Amino acid sequence: MTGKVKLDSYRDAGILVSIDLVNELVVEEAGEAASRDAVAALKRILAVDANSVAALRPGHVRGFGELARELHRVFAALDRDDLDAAALRVNRLLSRHPAHPYLAKEAGRWRLHHHPADAPLLSMWSAICAEGLASMISADRASRLGICERVECGRAYVDLTRNASRRFCSLNCQNRVKVAAFRERASLGTRRERSGSI
Ligand SMILES: [Zn+2]
């Protein structure tokens, strides 16, 4: 699907939080010391919802880590265009963590929330994340979710460009791969010159 995709930090929190969970708790974790403050990382990730940040406890870290690993598997499946495998995993999360729509009165108006404010944190975010990824799959936008092509990086991303052409998590990774490819070509050219071939 073409056309620029705009995500809203609240409405699309499931997609954005899924990406942050994968990158902060799976990809970064793999490269960092175990002393990393996972609670602080989770507070940053869930900052869109002040109630979640307030409810977060060290005891939640393990469960969010498991959720992040499962979401990483979904991104890996999407990255290799295996929509069936991704959908299977998303469906499993959805059935284990059903949404719990709820009307809450705010400043005199009733507003629809995904869950009641006192819903269990991990289950609530599992549902929100799974629903966010499910919405991308069902809107033919699954190809916009991917894993950075710079092998040493591996971060998840959502492609918001008009022509859905993104392959890297950031310009930084794109430039690093471009520079490496340029150097590779340049050194190949030098070797060919030395050996007398074209
Ligand atoms: Zn990257």
Q: Is 137 helix (H, G, I), strand (E, B) or coil?
A: helix
Residue 96, Cβ neighbours under 10 Å: how many?
11
- CA 147–ligand 1 middle distance (angstroms): 8
- CA 129–ligand 1 middle distance (angstroms): 21
Neighbours of ion ligand 1 (CB under 5 A): 148, 150, 153, 155, 169, 173
- Rounded Cα gap, residues 71 and 88, in angstroms: 12
List helix spans (H) across 57-120.
61-79, 83-96
Are 63 and 122 in contact by the 8 Å Cβ rule? The answer is yes
Q: Residues 137-175, buried b or exposed e (16+ Cβ, 10 A)? A: beeebbebbbbbebeebbbbbbbeeeebebebbeeebbe
- CA 149–ligand 1 middle distance (angstroms): 7
pLDDT at 97 over 90: yes
Span 56-82, pLDDT tens digits: 999 999 999 999 999 999 999 999 999
Span 121-150, pLDDT tens digits: 999 999 999 999 999 999 999 999 999 999
pLDDT at 160 over 80: yes
- CA 20–ligand 1 middle distance (angstroms): 13
Phi, psi of 145 (to 5 degrees): -100, 130
Span 5-30, pLDDT tens digits: 788 887 899 999 999 999 999 988 77
- CA 171–ligand 1 middle distance (angstroms): 8
Helix, strand, coil percentages, rounded to 5, for the chain = 60, 10, 35
- Domain 13-167 grouped into CATH 2.170.270.10: no
pLDDT at 41 over 90: yes
**Average pLDDT, rounded, for the chain:** 90
- Rounded Cα gap, residues 90 and 88, in angstroms: 6
Q: Where do the domains of the chain lie?
A: 13-167
Q: What is the mean pLDDT of residues 160-178?
A: 92
- CA 112–ligand 1 middle distance (angstroms): 36
